[in-house]
């Protein structure tokens, strides 16, 4: 095996002036922070196609020298005779005071999402997809707070948040979008302020309204995924029926005292294959069997766990990666620190998502749930 010449940045710069081509083999997000002046942007796998002349002098540079060394070895193995690697890479080039050029483009994008861009399952294409995505979050409370935080940080381009409530001091134990100084402020306005400060690249559509049969179709318009952060059964059944009608995936979450649940319902796009919320709960439980957080209490960190998992499922759906939690109900017991899973088959007689069943219209969900 031939030794690969390693030259320092000053020597590499001199060889550039003598006609050698210098190629930056780093990832796109790394190049966005600055490249050695005169270097070309090419992935290692593109080198042979870009330079068919195996006698041309080619210098390779990466961040610290390791990747360029490996790429140089690959070229030598393919018969290239004049290849060198820049010792210390772009990091040393910069430290030695040699000229750096920032490529034209969105430096904030590559810097902000650099850890996503390193993932082959996401990359630049996936991150751009997130940037174009639109998610509806119903509720800016215990579940909506952590979910919105992570979706905003991840770069989901538009978050439409619907909630008609205002910030109360009792919310602050778990609803991390809000703060003491915002008590009395509309939760959607508080959420918009917090998320805008975290990621000014995204758009927050604040809807200070309670989801209802009258507005649900408008709330779902143009949306890719719906995240259910509601705390009542009428809203859950309404969201389910609307998502089946409009063929939108629904990421469900619920918490009670020390336990939480999570599932993805996507029957609208996969009738007869995946279930909807009504397949799991054809009828709501009696009110006394399912008290809300104000009545039963909830461990403050529990909505954080479930909301974060909901955000994870939303990102997987938007990126079309991994295995969504479709047809499965995930249970979390915080006291035992234990997860368990229940399979949810589609109900062939479901009142809403059975194959071939026409949408019968929205019902009086409060009355249906015993309100």
**How far is Cα 247 from Cα 224, in angstroms, rounded to an integer?**
9
Query: In angstroms, what CA-CA distances link 26 with 7, 9, 60, 301?
Result: 18, 16, 10, 40
| Domain 6-105 listed as CATH 1.10.540.10 | no
Q: Are 176 and 147 in contact (CB under 8 A)?
A: no
**Residue 281 pLDDT greater than 80, yes or no:** yes
CATH superfamily of 115-368: NAD(P)-binding Rossmann-like Domain (3.40.50.720)
The string of pLDDT tens digits covering residues 50-107 is 899 999 999 999 999 999 999 999 999 999 999 999 999 999 999 999 999 987 778 8
Residue 290: predicted pLDDT: 61
Length of the chain: 371
Q: Are 5 and 85 in contact (CB under 8 A)?
A: yes
The string of pLDDT tens digits covering residues 322-331 is 999 999 999 9
Q: How confident is the model at residue 48 (pLDDT cuts 50, 70, 90)?
A: confident
For the record, the structure tokens of 81 come out as: 């005779």
Averaged pLDDT for residues 119-123: 89
Residues of CATH 3.40.250.10 domain(s) within the chain? Answer: 6-105
Residues of CATH 3.40.50.720 domain(s) within the chain? Answer: 115-368
Per-chain mean pLDDT for the chain:
93
**Residue 289 pLDDT greater than 70, yes or no:** no
- Check 276, 279, 293, 353 and give the catalytic one: 293
Residue 102: predicted pLDDT: 80
Clarify whether 293 is annotated catalytic: yes
Give this prediction's pTM: 0.86
At 188, phi and psi to the nearest 5? -70, -35
As a whole number of Å, the end-to-end CA separation of the chain is: 79
Averaged pLDDT for residues 281-297: 75
Averaged pLDDT for residues 183-194: 98
DSSP secondary structure, 149-174, as one string: HHHHHHT-SEEEEE---B--GGGGGT
The string of pLDDT tens digits covering residues 148-178 is 999 999 999 999 999 999 999 999 999 999 9
**Residue 1 pLDDT greater than 60, yes or no:** no
The string of pLDDT tens digits covering residues 248-263 is 999 999 999 999 999 9
């Amino acid at each position: 095996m031939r030794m690969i010449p390693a030259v320092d940045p000053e020597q590499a710069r001199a060889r550039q002036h003598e006609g050698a081509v210098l190629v930056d083999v780093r990832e796109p997000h790394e190049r966005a922070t600055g490249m050695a002046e005169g270097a070309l942007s090419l992935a290692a796998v593109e080198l042979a196609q870009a330079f068919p002349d195996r006698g041309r002098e080619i210098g390779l540079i990466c961040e610290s020298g390791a990747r360029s060394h490996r790429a140089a070895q690959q070229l030598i193995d393919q018969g290239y005779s004049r290849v060198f690697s820049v010792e210390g890479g772009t990091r040393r080039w910069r430290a030695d005071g040699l000229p750096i050029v920032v490529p034209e483009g969105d430096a904030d994008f590559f810097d902000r999402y650099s850890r996503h861009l390193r993932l082959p399952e996401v990359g630049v294409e996936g991150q751009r997809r997130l940037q174009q995505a639109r998610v509806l979050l119903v509720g800016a409370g215990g579940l909506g707070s952590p979910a919105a935080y992570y979706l905003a940080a991840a770069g989901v381009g538009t978050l439409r948040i619907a909630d008609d409530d205002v910030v109360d001091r009792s919310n602050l134990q778990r609803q991390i979008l809000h703060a003491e100084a915002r008590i009395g402020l509309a939760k959607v306005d508080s959420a918009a302020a917090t998320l805008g400060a975290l990621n000014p690249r995204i758009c927050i559509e604040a809807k200070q309204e309670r989801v209802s049969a009258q507005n649900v179709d408008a709330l779902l318009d143009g949306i890719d995924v719906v995240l259910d952060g509601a705390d009542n059964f009428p809203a859950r059944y309404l969201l389910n029926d609307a998502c089946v009608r409009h063929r939108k995936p629904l990421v469900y979450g619920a918490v009670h005292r020390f336990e939480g649940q999570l599932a993805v319902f996507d029957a609208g796009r996969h009738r007869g294959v995946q279930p909807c919320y009504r397949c799991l709960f054809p009828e709501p439980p009696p009110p006394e069997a399912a008290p809300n957080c104000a009545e039963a209490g909830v461990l403050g960190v529990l909505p954080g766990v479930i909301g974060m998992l909901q955000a994870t499922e939303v990102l997987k759906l938007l990126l079309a990666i991994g295995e969504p939690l479709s047809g499965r109900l995930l249970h979390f017991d915080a006291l035992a620190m234990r997860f368990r899973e229940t399979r949810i088959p589609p109900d062939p007689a479901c009142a809403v998502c059975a194959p071939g069943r026409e949408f019968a219209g929205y019902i009086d969900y409060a009355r249906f749930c015993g309100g």
